[in-house]
Each structure stands twice: as structure tokens, then as C-alpha cells.
Amino acid sequence: MAIDYDKLMDWPFEKVEQTYSIKDSIIYALGVGYGHDPVDEGQLPFVFEEADFKAVPTMAVVLAGPGFWLRDPETGIDWRKILHGEQGIRWHKPLPKSATVTARTRIARVLDKGADKGALIYSERDLVDKATGDKLATLSSTTFARGDGGFGGATGPQPQPHELPERDPCAVCDLPTRPHAALLYRLSGDPNPLHADPKVAAAAGFKAPILHGLCTLGIAGHAVLRSFCEYDTTRLKSLKLRFSSPVYPGETIRTEMWRDGGVVSFRSKVLERDTVVLNNGCVELG
């Protein structure tokens, strides 16, 4: 079964409503590594409700999502060959520490890279605070459907990745991950057994369960928030990046950052394997 472009563009996404509590916000924060240093007072407000509590901004990526809709055979997509290629967040307001939020996903574009080259599916959703009607964030995602090129769709133009400066980074931040990091992060809404079951991971070609890509995104967001914002969440305006390689829980993630005015460019690598895992990153600061 091949991609039906018109059907995909008009995919009937339902509005999703999700209520999260301060406890859920803490679980997310712990899942992306906040609180690793228990005496770091900058991290305390994200993991201790009696502090001046605030939600981690990157938690927006796990709220009111559409679920694994690509697994529906009516999409025409071979879900076994899909990869999460890119992710973006634009914040309109700081996330409440607890709230009921709603969102409806939409397909923005589908590009045909050609037979044997796959397809790119661009999706978006606006996260809205149900109580106030305020738009909190806009989430954008690019899915690389490796097995679904050649359906006759448009081939471009394809957005170009953010270019990193060719100079030494302005700041470097090393953040370790715990061996159980994926088991903790999955409690925030991604129960894919690839991140928990060694047998499933082995069948997929990995030596052990891997860390969620969106968890690695949260760790890079932490690095920027720590290095340039002094943990002031109101200063983050947008973030976008490309996923390039998986992380194994227990590895150390080094984020290299370049600041040019209100823009921070970044990439993240695993120190133990000297492997870039996030690339072409860009954060806008306010």
C-alpha cells in the first residue's frame, strides 16, 4: 500500500485533551536529568514542589500528542521503517506547573524524495491551555518514512538545516544520564518497548534499549537553559534540531553551544562513543 497524499493531508486527527499535575511535571524533569545533582539549587524548582516550582519548557513535546497514528494501515506508511528526523518547539507562554491542555495535530507538508529514498512528513500541533484559551506552544515534527518514496508527490523545496558556526563553541555542558533513564522517561508518555525490553532492542539491531530521542532533546534544552538562561524558563522562545544517532542510557551527553546575539546554535554528542546524537540545533532567546 502506498501513500495517498490527499488522504494523508486530510488525516482525521481528533482533538486530544490531557491533564497533567505537578507530580507529572516532576516525573518529566527527573526523566530528562534534572535533579541529578541534588545540591544544585538551580535545578531544585523543577523537581521539588515546595521550591518556587516551574515546569521544564521542553515538556511541551510530550503533551496532548496524537499517539502512534502512523501505525494505522490506512496511512499507507510502512511504520516499521519510520524515523523521527527533526523536532521543533515554539513557546508562546511558559508552561503552567499543572494544567489541562488540548491539541489537534495537522499535516503541514508531505515531500516525496523518490523511490528508494523515502518521504518526509511534516506535522504540527498547537498546545492550548483549556482553562484560559492561551496558546502555550507550537510543536513541529518531521518524520522520515524510509520505505514510502515514489508516491508521486512534490519533491521540494525541502527546508535546509540550521548551519553551525565553524569556530570553537562558546560553552560546553556535560550532562550524565542514568542507566534507568529510559525506564523513567517512558512514564511521561512513550511506552515503546524499544526503550525498555532488551529483546525488542536486540531485534531492532541495538545492543540494549535506547534512550528516547525526545529525552535527548530535553537534555540539550537543559544544557541551554543552564548555560545561557540561569534556569529562567521565560527566556526560551524556540528550539529546533535534527536527530542523528541514538543514546544508550548511562552515557554522558555533551552539548556544544555557540551564541550569536539572541541565537544559540548547538549540537550534542555522546562522550563515551564520540558520536553526534543531535545536530543543527538552534534556540532563540528572549
CA 259 to each of CA 1, 125, 168: distance values in angstroms, whole numbers, following the listed order: 46, 28, 11
SS3 152: coil
For 22-35, letters b (16+ CB in 10 Å) and e give: eebbbbbbbbbbbe
Residue of 33, 88, 190, 253 with catalytic role? 190
Is 195 among the residues known to form the active site? yes
For helices 22-31 and 213-228, angle between their N-to-C axes, nearest 10 degrees: 90
Selected catalytic residue, list 3, 148, 195, 219? 195
Please pick, among 213, 218, 221, 281, the residue that the annotation labels catalytic.
213
Say how many residues make up the chain.
Answer: 286
Q: What is the CA radius of gyration of the chain?
A: 19
Please pick, among 77, 210, 219, 253, the residue that the annotation labels catalytic: 210
CA gap 26, 22 in Å, rounded: 6
Active site residue 213: yes
Pick the closest to residue 272 from 255, 248, 256 (CA basis): 248
Spatial CB neighbours of 237, under 8 Å, sequence gap ≥ 6: 90, 91, 283, 284, 285, 286
What would the grid cell of residue 224 be?
A: 541551554
Confirm whether 253 is a catalytic residue.
no
Which contacts qualify for 202-208: CB closer than 8 Å, 24 or more apart?
206/246, 206/248, 207/248, 208/248, 208/249
Q: Give the SS3 label for residue 280.
A: strand
Strands (DSSP E) found in 232-274: 236-243, 252-260, 263-270
Q: State yes or no: is 190 an active-site residue.
A: yes
CB 64 within 8 A of CB 136: no
> What residues are annotated to the active site?
190, 195, 210, 213
